[in-house]
Structure 1
């Protein structure tokens, strides 16, 4: 894995983790965790998220996480798996905002 790919993956994981930590509902948090598990599955589960993100707004976190996951396709990651991750992220957001 090249550095740009690793940085993008770390960014995606970090922002999805932040969404899980700041979820409004337990179900929403669990759905974000499922997105992380799917990302890990696509990459062999060898990466951990960074900490101390400067952004706390859930909408901004979601937008950045969505973009980072979508951009992973340019690094030869399974496109179907990435589409699944994006669908799961959207579902997690909907579950979390349904409070």
Structure 2
């Protein structure tokens, strides 16, 4: 009887550790997802400031934008950048193509 109680106790400890590890894994995944979204927002804000500094109605040629994006991709830990217009179509892209 006492031997069985010890095994049950050890099994409960093991299950609680496994549950705790699962919870921590999900928490860290969500934190990483939020950090990635925040960094993407920071990059897009910086890029929009640069584009706006060219003038309100200034036309910036696509090759010039893509050259700037390629420099951004090569100089940081970014793998790819895609600029979208208001309807969601890609206007300019740099880096590796994104998997769809």
The normalised TM-score by structure 2 is 0.31
The structure with the largest helix share of the pair is 1
Higher Cα radius of gyration: 2
